Amino acid sequence: MDLGIRGKLALVTGASQGIGREVALTLAQEGARVLAVARSQDKLKELVTEIEQIGGEAYALPADLGKPGTVEGVLREAAKAGTVEIFLGNTGGPKPMQAQEMGAEEVLEAARSLLFPMLELTRGLLPGMQEARFGRILYITSLAVKEPIENLALSNTVRSGLTGYAKTLAREVAPFGITVNTLGPGYTRTERVEEVFQFRAQQQGIPVEEAYHQQAQQIPVGRLGTPKEIADVAVFMLSANASYLTGQTLVVDGGFTRGLL
């Protein structure tokens, strides 16, 4: 299937590893030009090289989106490459915490990385998308927006806020050919998750594969997802073909969540 995004400019944040990196690669394979944002310049350079090796076009924009004032710089650099018509908003998860431990400061810190840069980048990109009469915006959230996860109160709270924002924005910008959606990954084997399971295994005194096996037993598909399985869905949601899909949250979790909708 031709996804209709050849030559379009895509901004992908959190692109140095995991799901964001895989989305960046897949977009490039589909012919999009990729602006890759993350904190690690070295990892971004590796990604750019990999994309160039497959005949694609990509640029590294190293930035810490959690730091105030960073977004303006990213938008300025992005504008040099043209009009961004595709935006994948993604950063890392906040620290674990119970709801009763959570105060305003903790929420603010999580929002600085997970919510505020998404809002600010979106606001900066919307005028160009409106003029182009085309835009695809997708935020990576978590299965936690459907079924909040114990001890991840910050994620459950802030990502729900982003989901509410996306739903509201989707209706506002739909007349301009701009779609806004969110994708909640389920358990996906990325570098970050590898660390989490290493820690779990160590704590329980079991091999890491056993820790994965225990988790996999909770998932109807019988295993964790791969970044590629998430990226393929994300890239479809970011494609020209997904023109009637907006204001939606798609949880890609191998059947893990039990909610009806």
User: By the criterion CB under 6 A, which residues form the site for ligand NAD?
Assistant: 13-20, 38-40, 64-66, 90-93, 113, 140, 142-143, 185, 187-188, 190-193
Q: Which phi and psi angles does 3 have, rounded to 5°?
A: -85, 0
Please identify, using beta-carbon distances, which residue of 31 and 96 lies nearer to ligand NAD: 96
Tell me how far apart the alpha carbons of residues 251 and 92 are, in angstroms, rounded to a whole number: 17
Please identify, using beta-carbon distances, which residue of 64 and 101 lies nearer to ligand NAD: 64
Least separation in angstroms between residue 67's CB and ligand NAD is 7
- Give yes or no for a contact between 28 and 59, defined as CB atoms under 8 angstroms apart: no
Residue matched to tokens 């570098």: 191
Residue of minimal Cβ distance to ligand NAD: 18
Please identify, using beta-carbon distances, which residue of 174 and 208 lies nearer to ligand NAD: 208
Q: Containing H/E element for 193?
A: helix 191-204
Please identify, using beta-carbon distances, which residue of 116 and 176 lies nearer to ligand NAD: 116
Neighbours of 259 (CB within 10 A): 8
Least separation in angstroms between residue 144's CB and ligand NAD is 7
Least separation in angstroms between residue 34's CB and ligand NAD is 13
Please identify, using beta-carbon distances, which residue of 39 and 167 lies nearer to ligand NAD: 39
Q: How far is CA 116 from the centre of its chain?
A: 14
Least separation in angstroms between residue 29's CB and ligand NAD is 18
Least separation in angstroms between residue 47's CB and ligand NAD is 9
Distances (CA, A) of 91 to 110, 139, 152: 11, 9, 16
> Regarding beta strands 58-62 and 84-89, do their DSSP bridges make them parallel or antiparallel, or are they unpaired?
unpaired
Distances (CA, A) of 239 to 1, 83, 251: 11, 16, 18
